[in-house]
Amino acid sequence: MGGRVALRPHTADTLPALKRWYADPELVRLARHRNEPLTGDEVERLVRDRFSTAQMLAFALYERVGTTEQLVGSCTLANLDIENGTASFHLMIGEPDARGRGLGSEATRLVTRFAFEALGLHRISLTLFAFNEAALRCYTKAGFREEGRLRDAITRDGRRWDEIQMGILATEAS
């Protein structure tokens, strides 16, 4: 738990928010290669098939306000490879009024600290699209460094954009 953020396991109570977020065209535009929103059935299948495997830890992201918590997003450590000490990170701030306030950076730091200290991981990677400047600021603030680019990897808004690859090592985490 952080100062303004709490991470909890997903439950049946978080499913309606996940369905709403994965149906949001702007979130789809920012975070998914496929440019169509997911249907409710597809979200249920995603949660059932991917959120509960040995290779993924999924967290519901809550903003702490006084003694209450409000669900604002989701994040995952995916492709967990304990033997090699690696994983990939995904973050979604689903609630529009929760964006741009540092909650994503705090959640990213909490998850990376957990991954390095509790799981003993050595490296965490992530990808984002070059037009997603808010995500780039968030991940950079949390200590991730750009490691490479897949040039012209995605088409959005009538043009081609790079996919940026970033990573952080346990020795670089604060």
d(CA 61, CA 47) in angstroms, rounded, equals: 15
> Considering Cα of 62, then 164, then 53, then 77, what sign does the dihedral take?
negative
* Residue 117: predicted pLDDT: 96
Q: Which domain holds residue 69?
A: 5-172
Q: Which CATH number characterizes residue 33's domain?
A: 3.40.630.30
Encode pLDDT of 42-83 as tens digits. Answer: 888 877 777 767 788 999 999 999 889 999 999 999 999 999
Enter the tokens of residue 47: 């949660």
CB burial of residue 170 (10 Å; 0-12, 13-18, 19+):
middle
pLDDT for residue 33 is more than 80: no
Cα of 53 vs its chain's centroid, Å: 17
3-state helix, strand, coil in the chain (%, to 5): 35, 40, 30
Enter the tokens of residue 156: 């959005």
Tally the domains of the chain: 1
pTM for this one?
0.89
Q: Which whole-number Å values give the CA distances from 94 to 14, 22, 170, in the listed order?
A: 12, 8, 28
What are the DSSP E strand ranges found in the chain? 5-9, 57-65, 68-81, 86-93, 123-129, 145-156, 159-169
Please compute the mean of the pLDDT values over residues 22-34 and round it to a whole number.
81
